[in-house]
Amino acid sequence: MSPVVPEREPAVPGDWELVVGLEVHVELSTATKLFCGCANRFGDAPNTNVCPVCLGLPGSLPVVNAAAVDFSMRLGRALGCEVRGAVFARKNYFYPDMPKDYQISQYDQPTNTDGHLELPDGHTVGIERAHIEEDTGKTTHIGGGGRIHDADYALVDYNRAGVPLVEIVSRPDIRTAEQARAYVRELRAILLAIGVSDARMEEGSMRVDANVSVRPAGSDELRTRCEIKNLSSLRALGRAIVYEAQRHVELWSGGERPRQETRHWDEANGRTTPGRSKEDADDYRYFQDPDLVPLAPATGTIAAIDAALPPLPAARRAELVASGGGAVSTEDAALLVERDQDGLVRAAIAAGADPGVAATRVANDLAVDDWSPVTPEGLAALVSMEISGRLTATQSKQVLAEMADGGGAPDVIAQRRGFQAMAGDDLAAVVDQVIAGNPDAWSRFCAGDEAERKKLAGFLTGQVMRATRGQADGAAVNRLLQERAGS
């Protein structure tokens, strides 16, 4: 019996530990392919972006795309890797989507080794290597319902053949399905930050395979692992890991052992199914590609790459939290950085906004694609209107949405929408009502020292806000309170 598919953590019972390593293939967003000048473009008519080189025609020769090398080193440095001289090797196997029937990849001397990636929760995942290789073409199985096994024939489109990839291989340091998802999210954030890939899982420009095994908790052995392919979303990644881990625990617990094999994630049925057995040993006959020469980063290349790296997500999160003096939560910081909104919030804080409110307001209520019309000053003004009581939280969200739509300054929007603060005699009447209704607080306000006075002012202002349903201006209420106290 296969276990049911849960989506909960922990994936395995407490006496077991989950061990996951991820292999992520990322298509680099260069203008051209890895070894030829054909456009690296998604979605064109089949076999239109091909030439003698990427079709593997006899006599053609590869020449490395300088940008692909640069992108890969940039990624390596962003992952804290050692970037070294590298050699292209041929991985020999036959498959119709591979024009030369070998893949040019890096084998024993990859560009990037020994890096790490820090997750937002502080957990660190080691990066074994991040190497450059070429993508294959795309095969479509026709007939038999598109299933590979009973198709009538297959069609091959080589537009994707030769597109530059970096394969990022993590160490088996991931312990929960959520960490696996966080790893992919974080990797994606890094890729976007350094501008080397659009990292779209749904378009296949970022493809994730998970190596899953389990072991008794507390042991450090590595047991038989299965490689799950075809994980095309974060949800699938998490579910597949949980499913597979439970399958392993069940097998081990029943005195059996999993077979080392590739498995596929079946999204519809929520389970993994067996693929190719790894036991019929692959013999790729790797050897250095004699058509290409080694890469040897010149002196200063790595330093120049480091100097040009933009602030990375982990650093940006830390900076945002620091600029908020502890008022910005780590969750908000992670989200804001992921959405590239940390700059806006930091600038608003610099312009005087309350850090916690600014962060929360943007994190919760600015989940739109284009928020460019929102300026730091506008955001700061909005936050102070909210804090001072001129706007309720609900109103503040509505104003923010309109600001993102290009509606202008918050006070103008608030006015247009009739979110005016109550002022003048009306407000004075409410203030007097509140004073009358809270004699105890009022007398302590009048007699208290500065700290006491401030505290009670907050309470009394809050009462006024409640009475006016947020339509009062906090500063005006404060002024009235001071007047009434005769100071």
Partner 1 sequence: MTALAIAAAVKSGERTALDVVDEHLARISQRDAEIGAFNLVLADEARTAARNVDAAVSRGEPVGPLAGVPVALKDNLCTRGVPTTCSSRMLEGWRPPYDATVVQRLRSAGAVIVGKTNLDEFAMGSSTENSAFGPTRNPHDTGRVPGGSSGGSAAAVAAGFAPLALGSDTGGSVRQPAALCGVVGFKPTYGAVSRYGLVAFASSLDQIGPMASNVADTAACYEAISGHDPRDSTSIDGAREPVVAGLGQGVDGLRVGLVAELCAASARVQQDDGLDGVSAVEGVAADVIAWVDAAATALEAAGAAVTVVSVPSAVLGLSAYYLIAPAEASSNLARYDGVRYGLRVDAANAAEMNVSSRSSGFGAEVKRRIMLGTYALSAGYYDAFYGKALRVRTLMLREFAAAYADVDVLLCPTAPTTAFELGAKTADPLLMYLNDVCTIPSNLTGHPAVSVPFGSGDDGLPVGVQLMGPALSEPVLLRAAAVLERAAPSDGSAP
Partner 2 sequence: MSGRITRDEAAHVARLARLRFSDAELDELAAQLSAVLDHAADVEALDVTDIEPTSHPHPLVNVTRADEVRPSLDWDEVLAQAPSVDDGQFRVPPILGEAP
Q: Name the residues that contact partner 2, by CB under 8 A.
A: 30-32, 36-39, 45-52, 55, 63-69, 85, 93-98, 136, 139-141, 143-144, 148-158, 262, 275-276, 282-285, 287-288, 290, 292-296, 298
The reply to whether 167 sits near Mg ion by the rule CB under 5 A is yes
d(CA 198, CA 206): 8
Question: 94 or 451: whose CB is closer to partner 1?
Answer: 94
CB of 61 to partner 1, least distance (A): 5
The span of 29-37, 271-279, 329-337, 380-388 binding Zn ion (CB under 5 A) equals 29-37
Pairing of strands 102-106, 112-118: unpaired
Member of 20, 36, 421, 431 binding Zn ion (CB under 5 A): 36
Question: 32 or 341: whose CB is closer to partner 2?
Answer: 32
Backbone angles phi, psi at 43, to 5 degrees: 95, 5
Look up tokens 């500063």; give the residue: 475
CB of 63 to partner 1, least distance (A): 5
The residue among 138, 131, 133 whose CA lies nearest residue 49 is: 138
- List the single partner that 54 binds among partner 1, Zn ion, Mg ion, none, CB under 5 to 8 Å by kind: Zn ion
The reply to whether 67 sits near partner 1 by the rule CB under 8 A is no
Question: 52 or 408: whose CB is closer to partner 2?
Answer: 52
Residue 386 in tokens: 């909210």
The reply to whether 99 sits near partner 1 by the rule CB under 8 A is yes
Preceding omega of 120 cis (within 30 degrees of 0): no
Residues 6+ positions from 409 with CB-CB distance below 8 Å: 378, 381, 403
By CB under 5 A, the residues from 53 to 112 that bind Zn ion are 53-54
The reply to whether 94 sits near partner 1 by the rule CB under 8 A is yes
CB of 59 to Zn ion, least distance (A): 14
User: In this structure, are residues 383 and 348 in contact, taking their beta carbons and an 8 Å threshold?
Assistant: yes
User: In this structure, are residues 439 and 413 in contact, taking their beta carbons and an 8 Å threshold?
Assistant: no
Query: In whole angstroms, how far apart are CA 52 and each of 30, 55, 98, 155, 340?
Result: 19, 5, 13, 19, 41
Member of 14, 122, 145, 290 binding partner 1 (CB under 8 A): 290
Question: 167 or 289: whose CB is closer to Mg ion?
Answer: 167
d(CA 431, CA 433): 5
d(CA 487, CA 72): 67
Per-residue b/e over 320-358, b at no fewer than 16 CB within 10 Å?
Answer: bbebbeebbeeebbbbbbbbebbebbbbbbebebbbbbb
The reply to whether 161 sits near Zn ion by the rule CB under 5 A is no
- List the single partner that 167 binds among Mg ion, partner 2, partner 1, none, CB under 5 to 8 Å by kind: Mg ion
Residue 147 in tokens: 């299933």
Member of 14, 43, 58, 254 binding partner 1 (CB under 8 A): 58
Member of 39, 41, 42, 51 binding Zn ion (CB under 5 A): 51
d(CA 436, CA 423): 19
The reply to whether 239 sits near partner 1 by the rule CB under 8 A is no
Residue 249 in tokens: 């625990």
Summarize as ranges the residues that interact with Zn ion (CB under 5 A).
Answer: 36, 38, 51, 53-54
Q: Which residues bind partner 1 (CB under 8 A)?
A: 52, 55-64, 90, 92, 94, 96, 99-102, 154, 156, 281, 283, 285-287, 290-293
Binding site for Mg ion (CB under 5 A): 167
